[in-house]
C-alpha cells in the first residue's frame, strides 16, 4: 500500500499562526514535532519511506523538504493550484496508478491529532486487508464521536458487511453535513453516527473509474496526467491541466455519489485541530482551565487559550473564556466561543498579513 499525506491546506481558522506560506501543518501545535512530522512519524510501523508520499502546493514544497528531509524528492506530489481535496485525490490516484498499477492508497490528512497511533495503524491495515476481497469498495475511517459536535460532517453506519481481523466493517448509509446542535445530540445518542475524518483506503483504479463516471471533465485531465506520468513528463501536464479542474471536495465529487462505501469505527483519540478552541481537546489545562503556551502570566484568568512565543510576556488578569494568539506581526484576541470567526478576520485582511 502507498500512503499519501495531504499537506496543501492553508488552515485559515488558525490565523495568525497559520499563514498562506507557512500553514498550520508546518507548526508544532501540540508537542515538539510539527503536525506534518507527526503524520509521518505515526506511520513508521506501516510505511517504508519509499511508500510514503506528501501532496502539497508548489509554494510549500520547500517546507516539506525542510521538515521531512528523508522523503525522496520524487515522492512529493505538487499541486500547482488550490483546488480542494477532489482534484488533490484525483492527482495522487492518477500518478500512483501510473507508477504502480493496481496499487492501494491510504489517503490521509496532515492537520489533525491522533492520540492512539498504534490503533490508527491497525485499522489502516484492516482496511488494506479488506480490499483483497472488496477491491471496488471505498473504505473510510469514521471516528467514534465523544460529544455532540456541530463542526464536523458525519457518517451514518449501516449494516455490518464483513469482519476482517476481528474488526466489523459497516456499510455507509449516508454522509451528513455539519448538523445543528439538536441534530448532533440525536446523532450521538443513537450510536449510529461517526465523525467524518476524511481519511480513506482504496484502490487508485477504483477512484479513477468513479471520476470517469461522476466527473468526466476532471477525469479527462487526470487521464492526460497519467499518460504523461508513464512517459516521465507529468510535471508540465500537471502545471497546465490541474488549475483547470473543478474546485470541489472529494466528498461531493465522489463519496456522496458512489455506491460501494464502507467505514471502520475508529476510536483513536482523534482531534481535528481546525480552530484555536480545539487545543483544549489535546493539551493539558491548568487548575483554572487555561491552556497556556509561551511566556504567559496568568492572574485570576479562567478557561483561556493563549499561544505565544518566548520573547514576549503575555499577562492575563481577571479575564475568562478568551483566545489570545501572538504571532509577532499580528495579535488575535476573541472570546473562546467565537473561535470559528477567525475565518471572517482572514476574509478582510490584505496580503501583507496572510
For residue 90, what is its C-alpha cell?
484525483
Kindly report whether the global pTM for this prediction surpasses the value 0.85.
Answer: yes
Report how far residue 89's alpha carbon sits from residue 250's, in angstroms, rounded to the nearest whole number: 7
82-112 per-position pLDDT tens digit? 999 999 999 999 999 999 999 999 999 998 9
Secondary structure of residue 211 in the 3-state scheme: helix
| Cell numbers linked to 78 | 505538487
Determine contact, residues 11/23, Cβ cutoff 8 Å. yes
> What does the block give as the cell for 206?
477504483
pLDDT in tens, 106-135: 999 998 999 999 999 999 999 999 999 999
pLDDT digits (tens, 9 = 90+) for 143-181: 999 999 888 999 999 999 999 999 999 999 999 999 999
Name the nearest CA neighbour of 55 among 91, 106, 7. Answer: 7
Per DSSP, the chain holds a count of helices (H) and strands (E) of 10, 17
In three-state secondary structure terms, 113 is strand
Cell of 52: 510514503
Using CA atoms, how far apart are residues 210 and 244, in angstroms rounded to an integer? 19
Among candidate residues 20, 13, 9, 17, the one with its CA nearest the CA of residue 340: 13
- Domains annotated on the chain, with CATH: 2-272 (3.90.550.10), 279-353 (no CATH)
How far apart CA 65 and CA 321 sit, in angstroms, is: 38
Amino acid at each position: 500500500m502507498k500512503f499519501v499525506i495531504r499537506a496543501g491546506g492553508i488552515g485559515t481558522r488558525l490565523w495568525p499562526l497559520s499563514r498562506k506560506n507557512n500553514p498550520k501543518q508546518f507548526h508544532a501545535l501540540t508537542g515538539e514535532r510539527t503536525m506534518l512530522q507527526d503524520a509521518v512519524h505515526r506511520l513508521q510501523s506501516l510505511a517504508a519511506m519509499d511508500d510514503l508520499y506528501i501532496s502539497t502546493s508548489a509554494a510549500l514544497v520547500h517546507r516539506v523538504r525542510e521538515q521531512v528531509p528523508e522523503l525522496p524528492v520524487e515522492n512529493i506530489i505538487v499541486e500547482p493550484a488550490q483546488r480542494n481535496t477532489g482534484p488533490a485525490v484525483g492527482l495522487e490516484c492518477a500518478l500512483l496508478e501510473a507508477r504502480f498499477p493496481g496499487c492501494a492508497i491510504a489517503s490521509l490528512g496532515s492537520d489533525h491529532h491522533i492520540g492512539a497511533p498504534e490503533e490508527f495503524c491497525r485499522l489502516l491495515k484492516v482496511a488494506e486487508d479488506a480490499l483483497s476481497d472488496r477491491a471496488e469498495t471505498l473504505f473510510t475511517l469514521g471516528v467514534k464521536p465523544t460529544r455532540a459536535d456541530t463542526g464536523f460532517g458525519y457518517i451514518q453506519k449501516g449494516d455490518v458487511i464483513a469482519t476482517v481481523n476481528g474488526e466489523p466493517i459497516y456499510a455507509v448509509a449516508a454522509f451528513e453535513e455539519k448538523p445543528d446542535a439538536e441534530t448532533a445530540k440525536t446523532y450521538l445518542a443513537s450510536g449510529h453516527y461517526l465523525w467524518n475524518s476524511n481519511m480513506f483506503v482504496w484502490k487508485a483504479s477504483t477512484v479513477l473509474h468513479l471520476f470517469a463516471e461522476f466527473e468526466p471533465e476532471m477525469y479527462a485531465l487526470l487521464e492526460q496526467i497519467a499518460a504523461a506520468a508513464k512517459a516521465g513528463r507529468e510535471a508540465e501536464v500537471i502545471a497546465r491541466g490541474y488549475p483547470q479542474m473543478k474546485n470541489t471536495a472529494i466528498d461531493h465529487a465522489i463519496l456522496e455519489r458512489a455506491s460501494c462505501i464502507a467505514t471502520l469505527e475508529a476510536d483513536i483519540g482523534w482531534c481535528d485541530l481546525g480552530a484555536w478552541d480545539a487545543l483544549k481537546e489535546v493539551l493539558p489545562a491548568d487548575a483554572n482551565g487555561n491552556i497556556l503556551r509561551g511566556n504567559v502570566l496568568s492572574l485570576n484568568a479562567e478557561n483561556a487559550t493563549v499561544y505565544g512565543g518566548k520573547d514576549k510576556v503575555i499577562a492575563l488578569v481577571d479575564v475568562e473564556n478568551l483566545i489570545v494568539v501572538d504571532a509577532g506581526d499580528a495579535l488575535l484576541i476573541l472570546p473562546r466561543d467565537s473561535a470559528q470567526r477567525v475565518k471572517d478576520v482572514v476574509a478582510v485582511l490584505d496580503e501583507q498579513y496572510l
